[in-house]
Amino acid sequence: MPRFIINKKPQANGDHEIHNATTGCTYMPAQANQIDLGTHATCQSAVLDAKGRWPNDRVNGCYFCCNQCHTS
């Protein structure tokens, strides 16, 4: 199963992006800004996990490595 991380620094629009750490991504945040979400079958599961941990933050999938979870 793929491992996902979330960027603890929000993007300009306020979203904290989820990235697939198993496949890698050109837009992965610096190691110091990554929070490990563990393994998930899908990015949708990783997004739900992150929303559960940080219910007051906006969470979104990366357009490049988690496009099926990218909403804004």
Task: Give tens-digit pLDDT for 53-70.
Answer: 999 999 999 999 999 999
Name the CA dihedral angle for 62, 67, 70, 71, rounded to a multiple of 10 degrees. 150
Q: Give the total number of structural domains in the chain.
A: 1
Task: Give tens-digit pLDDT for 35-47.
Answer: 999 999 999 999 9
Using DSSP, how many helices (H) and how many strands (E) does the chain show? 1, 4
Which domain range does residue 51 map to? Answer: 3-69
- Supply 59's token pair: 């969470």
Whether 71 shows a pLDDT value over 90: the answer reads: no
3-state secondary structure of 11: coil
pTM over 0.85: yes
